[in-house]
């Protein structure tokens, strides 16, 4: 019930994060080149296997981002510190982008492999539902002005959405097994593993960088609102 504490609105610091960003992008470029150069053509999938190095890390990073949304939402409802709410918003925005990327990459992979752009299997469908939940979450944030209200509502929506995703996965899986069994041809042999791990780390670093900088922007916005409020109430240094 208590209003969000005021001492959290000091301006954020960029610190070494720009350097971290440069290193992340360099490492990402290295991981991509390494993976594409070293992986032999797969017996089943041929060179299409190389898509694994962008699709699978994007999918993993999506779920990590949504995990951050869940975790910071719980923390916000618990501790009522607005920084957690801003972090949840940043993670949701970055996560939504990676989720959309995952879906489109999956379609580009599915078309030559399965012959269709989309298949209603549990993994695809629950990822799509996750994307829709991200979109709803961000829409809710953009439609609510009051900070306290926006924080508590979006935390509730984030937590319920996180509960929903495994349930969707379970129900769609059961739905699919009844209709027809579709085997998933994705499997991983040793010579592809290192490239995948490197790319997964690179995506993880990029995600951390993006979320941190987005969070910084959100902190600046809130700090600006408070500075102008304080100015209106009679002097910033008073």
Partner 1 sequence: MASNEWGYVGAAYALTWIVLFLLLARVLGAVRRAKAEYESAVKGGYNA
Partner 2 sequence: MAFNDDIRRIRAIVWKDLTTERRSKAGFNAVAALGVTILVLFGFALGPDAQALRDAAAGVLWLAVLFAGVLAFNRSYQVELDGGALEVLLLYPGARWAIFAGKLIANLIFVLAMLVIVVAVGIVLFQVVIPAQWPSLIGIMLLGVIGLVSLGTFYAAMSSRSRAREVLLPLLLYPMLIPVLLASMEATKAFLTGDIMNAVGAWVQMLALFDVIFLVATFWAFESVIEV
Among 36, 129, 144, 168, binds partner 1 (CB under 8 A): 36
Residues that bind partner 2 (CB under 8 A): 1, 77, 129, 132-133, 135-136, 139-140, 143-144, 146, 148-149, 152-153, 155-157, 159-161, 163-164, 167-168, 170-172, 174-175, 178
Considering CB distances under 5 to 8 angstroms, the limit depending on partner class, which of partner 2, partner 1, none binds residue 89? none
Span 191-230, contacts to partner 1 by CB under 8 A: 206, 210, 213-214, 216-221, 223-225, 227-228, 230
Q: Which residues pair with 46 in a beta bridge?
A: 42
| Contact yes or no for 151/4 (Cβ under 8 A) | yes
Choose the binding region for partner 1 from 47-55, 130-138, 156-164, 165-173 (rule: CB under 8 A).
Answer: 47-55
Contact letters for partner 1, residues 5-24 (x by CB under 8 A):
------x--x------x---
In whole angstroms, how close is the CB of 200 to partner 2 at the nearest point?
27
From the list partner 2, partner 1, none, which binds 157 (C-beta under 5 to 8 Å, kind-based)? Answer: partner 2
**Is 25 within 8 Å of 207 (Cβ atoms)?**
no
Neighbours of 204 (CB within 10 A): 15
129: partner contacted, choices partner 2, partner 1, none (Cβ within 5-8 A by kind)? partner 2
Which spans of this chain sit near partner 1 (rule: CB under 8 A)?
A: 11, 14, 21, 25, 28, 32, 36, 45-48, 50-51, 54-55, 58, 94, 97, 101, 104-105, 108-109, 111-112, 206, 210, 213-214, 216-221, 223-225, 227-228, 230-232, 235-237
């Amino acid at each position: 019930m208590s209003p969000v504490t005021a001492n959290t609105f000091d301006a954020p610091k960029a610190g070494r994060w720009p350097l971290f960003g440069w290193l992340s992008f360099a490492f990402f470029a290295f991981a991509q080149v390494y993976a594409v150069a070293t992986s032999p053509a797969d017996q089943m999938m041929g060179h299409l296997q190389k898509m694994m190095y962008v699709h699978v890390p994007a999918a993993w990073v999506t779920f990590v981002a949504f995990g951050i949304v869940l975790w910071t939402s719980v923390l916000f409802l618990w501790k009522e510190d607005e920084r957690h709410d801003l972090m949840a918003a940043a993670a949701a925005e970055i996560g939504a982008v990676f989720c959309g990327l995952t879906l489109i990459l999956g379609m580009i992979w599915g078309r030559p492999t399965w012959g269709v752009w989309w298949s209603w299997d549990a993994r695809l469908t629950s990822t799509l539902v996750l994307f829709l939940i991200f979109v709803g979450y961000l829409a809710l944030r953009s439609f609510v002005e009051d900070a306290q209200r926006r924080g508590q509502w979006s935390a509730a929506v984030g937590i319920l959405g996180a509960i929903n995703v495994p349930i969707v996965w379970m129900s769609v899986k059961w739905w699919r097994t009844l209709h027809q069994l579709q085997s998933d041809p994705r499997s991983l042999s040793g010579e592809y593993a290192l490239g995948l791990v490197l790319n997964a780390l690179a995506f993880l670093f990029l995600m951390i960088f993006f979320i941190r900088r987005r969070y910084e922007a959100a902190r600046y916005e809130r700090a600006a609102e408070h500075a102008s409020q304080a100015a209106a109430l009679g002097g910033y240094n008073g």
